[in-house]
Amino acid sequence: MSLFSIDFNNKKASNEDRYYDLREDWSLIESSFASQYSIRLRNEHDMKWTEFVSLLNGILPSTALGNIVSIRAEKDSKVIKNFTPSQKRIHREWKIRKIKNGEYDKEEFNKQMDSLSKMLNTVFGKNGGVSNGVSKK
């Protein structure tokens, strides 16, 4: 699966697996096209949409956009734990943006909610007591 996937056949396709925004990341897209393909998008007046999308799908992780997409798409908690503060900020901001736009990964959301529920049960117990042995009864 490409991190830059655009589905031509399904206009209602989910954005859950896309880790960039054409508008917000336009400067990164321009920079990546220039560095990888030597194409200056501002000077391209006759590039077809299908060609643009094909090139976008081929962006490498070594480009500006590819680097940001790699950070945003990371799901391995061990890798994320070792991110720099800047990488953690990029990763966190993307997750928050997706949640605000209703584009979150429902499976990941359910895992997080299960984890939170277990933590709360550990802290407060199933009957509303606290875990240090003092009951709220």
Reported as a single tens digit per residue, the pLDDT across 110-134 is 888 888 888 888 888 766 555 555 5
Residue 104 lies in a domain: no
Q: How far apart are CA 56 and CA 66, in angstroms?
A: 10
Residue 11, in any domain of the structure: yes
Q: Is 115 domain-assigned?
A: no
Residue-range definition of the domain harbouring residue 17: 1-74
Please state the domain count of the chain: 1
Nearest CA-CA partner of 60 in 98, 33, 97: 33
CA distance 72 to 80: 10
pLDDT in tens, 24-58: 999 999 999 999 999 999 999 999 999 999 999 99
Residue 24 lies in a domain: yes
Q: In terms of Cα–Cα distance, which of 82, 75, 67, 74 is closest to 25?
A: 67
Q: Is residue 23 part of a domain?
A: yes
Residue 136 belongs to a domain: no
Q: Has residue 131 been placed in a domain?
A: no
Q: Is residue 105 part of a domain?
A: no
